[in-house]
Amino acid sequence: MSGAVPMLLRRLGFYFLAGWVALTLNFLIPRMMPGDPAAVMLARFEGDLSPEALQALRETFGISDGPMWQQYLDYLSHVLRGDLGISIAYFPAPVTQVLGTGLLWTVFLAGGAVLIAFALGTTLGALAAWWRGGWLDAIAPPTLAFLGAFPYFWLAMVAAWLFGFQLGLFPLRHAYGLDIEPALSLAFVSSVAYHAFLPALTMVIASTGGWMLGMRNVMIGVLGDDFITYAMARGLPRRRVLFHYAARNALLPNVTGFGMALGFVLSGALLTEIVFSYPGQGYLLIQSVRAQDFPLMQGIFLTITAAVLGANWLVDIVTVLLDPRTR
Amino acid sequence: MWAGLALLWSCSPETPREPGVVVVVQEQQPAWVRNFNPLNPTGGARWPTRSGIYEPMAIYNSATGKWVSWLASSFEYADDVTVRAQLRQDVKWSDGTPFTAADVAFTFELVLRRAELDLGGMGRFVEGVEALGTHEVVVHLDHPYSPGLADIMHQPIVPAHVWKDIDDPLKFANEDPVGTGPFTEVRVFRPQLFELGRNPHYWQDVAIEAMRFPAVGSNDQVTLSLLEGEVDWAGAFVPAIDRIYADRDPEHNRYWFPLVGEMIFLYANTTRPPFDDVRVRKAISSAIDRSLVVKIAMYDYTQPANAVGMSDVYSDWIDLQVAGDSDWITFDTARAAALLDEAGLKMGPNGLRQTPDGEPLQIELSAITGWSDWVRASQVIARNLGEVGLDVRMRSYDFGAWFDALGRGDFQLTLGWSASGPTPFPLYQGLMSQRAVRPMGEPATSNWHRYGSAEMEALLVQFEATTDRTTQGLLASEMQRLFVAEAPAIPLFPSPSWGEFRTEFIEGFPSAADPYARLSPNHFPDPLLVMTRLRPAQ
């Protein structure tokens, strides 16, 4: 393990650099959008404010006409202090407060779904490769690949309509029952699980296929390697060969893919959340774009960037643990 | 796994509905942020802060065309520049403090001092508001301005004893509101749900215990929650509403979409040729098949516009002679082609019309991404105009970009909304006022098509100076005549006012059979008229 720590630190340095680039893009892109947030807000409200009042509002929102570099430095220093500014769409609530209503739900739903899909997909992939040509290998990959070809939100709409509306088996909206006080109680936890089931299911269905195919293909290659034949010849238990020798080696590409997938799943989760009125960040993002709410947009992109970079760093750690050659 | 699911199911029982609680969806939000500031100009305050927690002095009932006295028991013009209002004696704030003229004077002083809070733009015509004794106020105008009455009377009044200590009323979230309205007590506030209980000191009898607001994030979800019987009152657009909603439970599932919303116009930038020519604007109008637009874009929820550009909310003002006489909005391609020929836009060899100089004429029709009804309407219009030889292409923009370009006058053709109010004054002011015209490139809040008419300006000045309804009616007829003659913008269809309700648990909603107020919760301050009339179903 001696080489592992410097290597992980090096990677960490790289992530800081990537984070800074993301922050900068985060600053630039909203400012390249045409339009004036104060004017858009008034259009929404059909108000009749005077031009002086509009200017006063712009100043309150923190939309300054100062030079770009000045705005950029202000932005960086504020972000470092954890101050994401005041939301315009939810004025005068601070962005951190607005994000607080949805962030944990998105992390819970998308994170949970991606972990389940990853675990399920890789296990199925390993088993399908082990018994290749068997019934599992014949049915699961094409079925899952077929389901995976649908966009998340479409599956979500079908699931909501069929299981939620027509059959009435699952709730159609919200993260927990409206009359349940959020607390660490059985009622609350079970209500959360019950409400998360359909949205999570659609995300798992849509993304399991990719993991399974990837795992199966690598696994078949690994199973043909000499060391597997040797392990089998030595008479090691088949289960041990399957999981400790073959699967561990075949897992590496999937683990690397995991960090990348998180970004995609997050973006897919945003749409799923809208379908199920799940109180996550999906609708917030749309709302912030519509209202030209730069601070809120930046806040959401920042959390997504942080989540993806953080997940990739964790993936690095796992890769190091799995594969001594990367140390 | 099935055992686990069964357990989950059994653990999530449906709680029975509390009687007398109205479930409302007005704002579409995924989660609630706590803000009950009625002076918040950004729309960041929760519905019904401005008309429910807080109240105005009087309400113009846009369904009946009558003023309803509210916090003021009566009000009148003492002269052209003075409005006197007697306040009710029996009103208390929800904390028990009596409501007095000092509160009204304080509110106006605050709003006039901080222009950002002045949503009605009253600073342009109100000089000051004075309290006479405890229950009378006098509003002094700096010049006669009769259309300003609605802005004055509709101003939500805040309690002086609470708001005088607020450092910045703009940034004040007012989490525990003290108001005069029927529903002031925050019973529950969670990201997914909040409830407002009845004001213990309310000055009228109210039959409803509380209003409940689940966070619902999209139109589809509003429709589903109506179908499930979870929502009693909503103001959402629902496609094919008879089939999807009303026919499923004809006894309880009801809706009412009266055509009292704002008129939707096709705006042509009149500073740019060929739209500076009234013949071209009238030709475009004649080329549009409005019944097809209404059918394809609006599911037949509305009707083609009348010739004077007024929705049903102005039925008392429409000059039937002008509206009936004019045929400039009738679908007639031959007439459109003749007008275009007359304006010098001759047909070129490729079957497309050219500018008088023989240059190809390309016209862009801007639309807003995601506003699917307007996008469909724009597509129909582009095709209609193509049939008379105009090369019109629709292009979609993000709302912010579209609105920015609209304000600066950087467009050729686009759909747009229009102003509305108790009188046609704001409508024609927005359409034709010379004073509202901004130079190209400078953002305008109205008159985006930049059409100024000196004659209209004179009529507007006369209108704002008089408070006499008969004189105003005559002036409004003149305005309609002028609008039809000059065709500054092309009326398409009036917007319906969206409103759905269910009578299983709650009764007393307005409907076509009992049109005592506007049903839609989306229009301020009309919902007060509705929420004070609702009662639990028998």
B244 — contact with chain A (CB < 8 Å)? no
Domain coordinates in residue numbering, chain B:
58-163, 216-258+497-538, 263-494
Is residue B313 within 8 Å of B518, Cβ to Cβ? no
Q: H helices then E strands: how many in chain B? A: 16, 20
Q: The tokens 């293909």 sit on which residue?
A: A217
Residue B42: its pLDDT value, please? Answer: 76
Q: Considering only CB atoms, which chain A residues are within 8 Å of B430?
A: none
Q: Considering only CB atoms, which chain A residues are within 8 Å of B35?
A: 90, 92-93
Do residue B121 and residue A48 have CB atoms under 8 angstroms apart?
yes
The C-alpha atoms of residue B115 and residue B95 are separated, in whole angstroms, by 29
Alpha helices, DSSP H only, in chain A? Answer: 4-32, 37-45, 51-61, 68-80, 95-106, 112-130, 135-148, 152-159, 186-223, 226-233, 238-240, 248-275, 281-290, 294-322
Residue A1: its pLDDT value, please? Answer: 47
Mean pLDDT of A174-181: 86
The whole-angstrom distance between A214's CA and the closest CA on chain B is 26
Model confidence, pTM: 0.86
Residue B239: its pLDDT value, please? Answer: 87
Measuring CA to CA, which residue among B192, B221, B218, B222 is closest to residue B31? B192
Between B436 and A4, the higher pLDDT residue: B436
Strand partners, B419: none
Q: Which residue of B35, B151, B443 is in closest CB contact with A93? A: B35
B229 — contact with chain A (CB < 8 Å)? no
- What is the percent of chain A with per-residue pLDDT over 90, rounded to a whole number? 14
* pLDDT over 60 (residue A316): yes
- Topology given in CATH for the domain delimited by B216-258+497-538: D-Maltodextrin-Binding Protein; domain 2 (3.40.190)
pLDDT in tens, A124-156: 999 999 888 889 889 988 899 898 888 888 899
pLDDT in tens, B107-134: 999 999 988 888 888 988 999 999 999 9
Q: Give the pairing type, strands B391-397 and B362-368.
A: parallel
* pLDDT over 90 (residue B384): yes
Q: How many residue pairs bridge chain A and chain B with CB atoms within 8 Å of each other?
A: 174
Mean pLDDT of B69-91: 95
CATH number of B58-163: 3.90.76.10
DSSP string, B6-52: HHHHHHSPPPPPPTTEEEEE-S--SS------TT-TTS-SPTTIIII
At B165, list the tokens. 């200590």
A131 — contact with chain B (CB < 8 Å)? no
Do residue B31 and residue A91 have CB atoms under 8 angstroms apart?
no
Q: Which of B21, B116, B226, B230 to mutate to test the interface with A (most CBs of A within 10 A)?
A: B116
Residues 21-80 of A with CB under 8 A from B: 33-37, 39-50, 52-53, 56-57, 60
Mean pLDDT of B45-53: 93
Mean pLDDT of A303-321: 84
Model confidence band, residue B13 (pLDDT cutoffs 50, 70, 90): very low
Strand partners, B141: B126
Measuring CA to CA, which residue among A204, A116, A198, A188 is closest to residue A164? A198
**In chain B, whose CA is at the least distance from the CA of A97?**
B33
Residue B89: its pLDDT value, please? Answer: 95
pLDDT in tens, B158-180: 999 999 999 999 889 999 999 99
Do residue A56 and residue B192 have CB atoms under 8 angstroms apart?
no
The C-alpha atoms of residue B538 and residue B536 are separated, in whole angstroms, by 6
Residue B281: its pLDDT value, please? Answer: 96
Between A198 and A107, the higher pLDDT residue: A198
Residue B25 has phi, psi (to 5 degrees) of -120, 110
pLDDT averaged over every residue in chain B: 92
- What is the percent of chain B with per-residue pLDDT over 90, rounded to a whole number? 74
Fold match between domain B58-163 and domain B216-258+497-538: no
Between A260 and B74, the higher pLDDT residue: B74
The C-alpha atoms of residue A286 and residue B479 are separated, in whole angstroms, by 41
Between A41 and B485, the higher pLDDT residue: B485
Model confidence band, residue B5 (pLDDT cutoffs 50, 70, 90): low
Residue A3: its pLDDT value, please? Answer: 66
Residue B1: its pLDDT value, please? Answer: 47
pLDDT in tens, A229-287: 898 898 889 888 888 888 888 888 888 888 777 777 677 788 888 888 888 888 788 87
Q: Considering only CB atoms, which chain A residues are within 8 Å of B220?
A: 275
Do residue B12 and residue A98 have CB atoms under 8 angstroms apart?
no
At A85, list the tokens. 């500014």
Q: Considering only CB atoms, which chain A residues are within 8 Å of B224?
A: 160, 165, 172-173
pLDDT in tens, B358-382: 899 999 999 998 888 899 999 999 9
- Top mean pLDDT of A28-37, A109-118, A282-291 is at A109-118
* pLDDT over 60 (residue A64): yes
A299 — contact with chain B (CB < 8 Å)? no
DSSP string, B202-263: -SS-----EEEEE---SHHHHHHHHHTT--SEE----TTHHHHTGGGSTTTEEE---S-SPE
Domain B263-494 sits in which CATH superfamily?
Dipeptide-binding Protein; Domain 3 (3.10.105.10)
Residues 269-288 of A with CB under 8 A from B: 273-275, 277-280, 282-284, 287
The C-alpha atoms of residue A239 and residue A126 are separated, in whole angstroms, by 11
Q: What ipTM, to 2 d.p.?
A: 0.81
Residue B297: its pLDDT value, please? Answer: 92
SS3 A238: helix
The C-alpha atoms of residue B162 and residue B181 are separated, in whole angstroms, by 15
Mean pLDDT of A54-69: 75
DSSP string, B97-130: PBP-HHHHHHHHHHHHH-GGG-TT-GGGTEEEEE
B31 — contact with chain A (CB < 8 Å)? yes
